[in-house]
């Protein structure tokens, strides 16, 4: 879709809305901040409009979705910007320059939504394949332009659209994935990271197929794992376990509820020549943690990396209880002097709240602890200073 510059609609903030925050870099205006007259409510999802303050001063070019709680996403501070292939290429080029400086191989998150200037858009790169998650209506409308620019800037030959995930539903979008360019891989793609090899299912796996965000936390855990017995709970495709084995762990047990994910983890262990030291156990993580405790199992390093227990504020209380429970069940499995890593990808559970839940769980397990490291997402997942949600990942490492 090409963006016609003339006759763009105007959408205005209410007098009490925080226009200053938007001027200073905040990327969103919520439905309650906007004057939603009949004309505004009639705009089709993804319409590009000029966002103005109550005095009708332009704040920038925004993508509007009257059906979303995030009703306006600022995509350019220039309200006259033309959103064409060159516009997308400029943002992709800027993002690519950072990743190429950071990484020797083309395996990384290329676009991290608002923080890379493309609100609601996630792009993960797997060498010659890129997977796009267009999680906002405006990105869905401009998907052909984005894909053309992506191929032009990066040289990738296959581009996949992943339409899974909660965010698209909130925008009123469908869940139909597609092949946009090239041909979908007919087998999992091997991804080298921290000395390990991970197998990413780009068409049937979770999210885009692999979680790049934990890369630096995998690396830190691997430093603790030399000659260690490792337990990796909520392991997915072997995240912490395979990095630990590649860096000298004595053994690693991966626990996950998904048989498909554990099969990919086993394939990664084979590819990395560490299969003889790697075992898996399928089941509900809480049940497996309790069972291991009843068995008297002990590990030198235990890492728990669960899904988002608190994806929004309404789930915060229950989510914090779940994080506390994970810590309470995991701590008894750590041998004296061993290490416990606890992770959260819930943006609603900020670092102090998550820390408090972990500390309560460890205490309830009767263990004392030293906090030795706090980790976050890697630099290919940059944070937008004005958007707390972009700093969602936390990893706390304790010595018990």
Residues carrying an active site annotation: 345
Going from the C-alpha of 166 to that of each of 137, 349, 392, the distances in angstroms are: 13, 18, 15
The tokens describing 302, both together, are 């235990």
**Strand segments (E) across 8-165:** 10-12, 28-30, 47-52, 58-64, 70-76, 107-112, 121-126, 129-134, 158-161
- Under 8 Å between Cβ of 352 and 388: no
d(CA 279, CA 231): 10
Token pair belonging to 304: 């728990």
Measured between alpha carbons, how far is 123 from 110 in angstroms, rounded to an integer?
A: 5
What gap in Å lies between CA 239 and CA 256, rounded to an integer? 11
- Helix then strand count (H, E) for the chain reads 12, 19
């Amino acid at each position: 879709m090409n963006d016609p510059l003339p006759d763009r609609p105007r959408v205005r903030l209410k007098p009490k809305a925080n226009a200053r925050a938007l001027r200073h870099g905040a990327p969103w205006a919520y439905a309650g901040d906007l004057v939603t007259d009949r004309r505004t409510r009639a705009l089709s999802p993804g319409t590009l409009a000029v966002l103005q303050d109550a005095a009708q001063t332009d704040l920038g070019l925004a993508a509007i979705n009257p059906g979303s709680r995030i009703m306006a996403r600022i995509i350019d501070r220039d309200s006259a910007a033309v959103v064409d292939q060159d516009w997308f290429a400029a943002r992709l080029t800027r993002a690519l320059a950072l990743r190429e400086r950071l990484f020797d191989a083309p395996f990384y998150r290329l676009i991290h939504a608002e923080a890379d200037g493309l609100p609601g858009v996630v792009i993960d790169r797997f060498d010659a394949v890129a997977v796009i998650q267009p999680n906002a209506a405006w990105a869905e409308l401009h998907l052909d332009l984005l894909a053309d620019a992506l191929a032009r800037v990066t040289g990738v030959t296959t581009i996949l659209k992943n339409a899974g995930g909660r965010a698209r539903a909130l925008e009123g979008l469908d869940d139909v994935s597609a092949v946009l360019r090239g041909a979908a891989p007919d087998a999992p793609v091997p991804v080298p990271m921290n000395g390990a090899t991970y197998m990413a299912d780009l068409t049937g796996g979770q999210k885009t197929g692999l979680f790049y965000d934990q890369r630096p936390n995998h690396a830190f855990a691997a430093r603790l794992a030399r000659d260690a017995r490792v337990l990796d709970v909520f392991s997915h495709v072997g995240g912490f376990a395979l990095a630990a084995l590649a860096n000298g762990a004595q053994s690693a047990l991966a626990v996950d509820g998904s048989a498909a994910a554990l099969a990919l983890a086993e394939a990664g262990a084979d590819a990395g020549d560490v299969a003889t030291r790697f075992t898996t156990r399928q089941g509900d993580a809480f049940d497996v943690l309790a069972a291991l405790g009843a068995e008297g199992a002990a590990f030198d390093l235990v890492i728990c990396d669960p899904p988002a227990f608190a994806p929004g504020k309404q789930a915060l209380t229950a989510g914090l209880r779940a994080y506390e429970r994970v810590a309470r069940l995991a701590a008894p499995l750590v041998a004296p002097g061993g290490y416990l890593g606890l992770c959260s990808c819930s943006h609603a559970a900020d670092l102090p709240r998550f820390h408090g839940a972990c500390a309560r769980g460890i205490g309830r397990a009767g263990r004392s602890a030293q906090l030795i490291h706090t980790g976050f997402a890697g630099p290919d997942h940059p944070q937008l200073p004005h958007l707390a949600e972009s700093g969602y990942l936390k990893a706390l490492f304790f010595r018990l």
